[in-house]
Homo-oligomer: A and B are copies of this chain.
Amino acid sequence: MTTYDIALIGFGGVNRTLAQLIHDRGSSFVDELGFGLRVVAITDLRLGSLVKEDGIDLSVALRLGSGSETFADHGGSATPDNEHVIRNCSADIVCEATFTNPDDGEPAVSHVRWALESGKSVCTTNKGPVALRGPELTALAVRNGVHFEFEGAVMSGTPVIRLARKMFEGLKLDGFEGILNGTSNYVLGRMETGMELGKAITEAQELGYAEANPAADIEGFDVQLKVLILANELLGAGITLADVTRRGISELSAKEVKNAALAGRRWKLVGSAKRNPDGTVTAGVEPVALPLDHGLAGVSGATNAVSFATDLLGPVTVSGPGAGRLETAYALLSDIIAIHAAKAGVAAHA
| Residue from B33, B170, B298, B320 within 8 A of A169 (CB atoms) | B33
A102 at the interface (CB under 8 A from B): no
A163 at the interface (CB under 8 A from B): yes
The answer to whether A316 touches B312 (Cβ under 8 A) is: no
The answer to whether B312 touches A301 (Cβ under 8 A) is: no
Measured CB to CB, the closest approach of chain B to A4, in angstroms, equals: 13
Q: How far is the CA of A74 from the CA of B80 in the complex (A)?
A: 76
Q: How far is the CA of A166 from the CA of B168 in the complex (A)?
A: 13
Measured CB to CB, the closest approach of chain B to A332, in angstroms, equals: 10
The answer to whether A316 touches B314 (Cβ under 8 A) is: no
A282 at the interface (CB under 8 A from B): no
Residues of B within 8 A of A319 (CB): 295, 316-317, 319
Of the four ranges (under 10, 10 to 19, 20 to 34, 35 or more), the interface on chain A belongs to 35 or more
A313 at the interface (CB under 8 A from B): yes
Q: A170-B29, A299-B298, A337-B169 are in contact. Are A313 and B157 (CB under 8 A)?
A: yes
The answer to whether A313 touches B337 (Cβ under 8 A) is: no
The answer to whether B293 touches A301 (Cβ under 8 A) is: yes
A158 at the interface (CB under 8 A from B): yes
Q: A293-B301, A316-B318 are in contact. Are A333 and B163 (CB under 8 A)?
A: no
The answer to whether B300 touches A171 (Cβ under 8 A) is: no
The answer to whether B317 touches A320 (Cβ under 8 A) is: yes
| Residue from B157, B316, B320 within 8 A of A158 (CB atoms) | B316
Measured CB to CB, the closest approach of chain B to A13, in angstroms, equals: 14
Residues of B within 8 A of A163 (CB): 163, 167
| Residue from B29, B166, B320 within 8 A of A314 (CB atoms) | B320
| Residue from B166, B170, B329 within 8 A of A166 (CB atoms) | B166
Q: How far is the CA of A318 from the CA of B306 in the complex (A)?
A: 10
A321 at the interface (CB under 8 A from B): yes
Residues of B within 8 A of A297 (CB): 298
Residues of B within 8 A of A246 (CB): none
Measured CB to CB, the closest approach of chain B to A323, in angstroms, equals: 11
Q: How far is the CA of A279 from the CA of B267 in the complex (A)?
A: 43
The answer to whether B314 touches A321 (Cβ under 8 A) is: yes
The answer to whether A167 touches B166 (Cβ under 8 A) is: yes
A315 at the interface (CB under 8 A from B): yes
Residues of B within 8 A of A166 (CB): 166-167
Residues of B within 8 A of A315 (CB): 320
A232 at the interface (CB under 8 A from B): no
Q: How far is the CA of A229 from the CA of B294 in the complex (A)?
A: 29
A84 at the interface (CB under 8 A from B): no
A345 at the interface (CB under 8 A from B): yes
A162 at the interface (CB under 8 A from B): yes
The answer to whether A303 touches B312 (Cβ under 8 A) is: no
A327 at the interface (CB under 8 A from B): yes
| Residue from B167, B300, B327, B349 within 8 A of A313 (CB atoms) | B327
Q: Which 8 A-B pairs have the closest CB atoms?
A: A298-B298, A316-B320, A348-B348, A293-B300, A159-B167, A312-B330, A317-B319, A348-B349
What would 17 more interface pairs be, CB under 8 Å, given A158-B313, A171-B330, A293-B301? A29-B170, A157-B312, A158-B316, A159-B167, A159-B168, A167-B167, A169-B337, A295-B298, A298-B299, A314-B320, A314-B321, A316-B319, A317-B317, A317-B318, A318-B318, A319-B319, A348-B348
